[in-house]
Amino acid sequence: MNGNSFAEKLRGLGSYGLVFTKHAELRLLQRQVAKELVISHVRRPDSLKLVEKLPAEKGDEKYKLWFVPSKRIAYIYVIVINHSQQRIVIKTVIKQRLVWQKKVERHVK
């Protein structure tokens, strides 16, 4: 799914609360990602590049989001949108250095 169309959807959910699971809180610490950065990405999804819809429980929408604010780093979040409770739940946070990924891809070819 294109990140631009989903970014508009996220902007429309600006009144929804953001909740972090215990797992996401742990990953923030382990991967040295500021909570404010995640909130900023979700609230202002300008650097959203790719969206993958995942299976979710009834009444929820679950997505894997790739934010790429620069050429060197990407942030991947798994979120659940719950419309009945008007909240967005951050399930996990991943920080990926793209420089290493490109080096590995070159050696595989």
pLDDT, mean of residues 86-104 = 84
Give the pair of three-digit tokens for residue 96: 């990926």
Candidates 60, 59, 51, 52; CA nearest to 80 is 60
For position 60, what pLDDT does the model report?
95
Global pTM? 0.86
How crowded is residue 87: how many other Cβ atoms within 10 Å of its Cβ? 14
Candidates 35, 49, 58, 36; CA nearest to 5 is 49
Sorting pLDDT into bands at 50, 70 and 90, what band is 5? Answer: confident
Between 107 and 71, residue with greater pLDDT = 71
Give the pair of three-digit tokens for residue 43: 């609230």
Candidates 11, 95, 2; CA nearest to 50 is 2
For position 81, what pLDDT does the model report?
97
pLDDT, mean of residues 76-99 = 94
Summarize pLDDT for 29-67 with one digit per residue, the tens. 999 999 999 999 999 999 999 999 999 999 899 999 999
- What is the distance between the alpha carbons of residues 52 and 26, in angstroms, rounded to a whole number? 23
Domain range summary for the chain, segments of one domain joined by +: 3-108
The CATH topology of domain 3-108 is YaeB-like fold (3.30.2310)
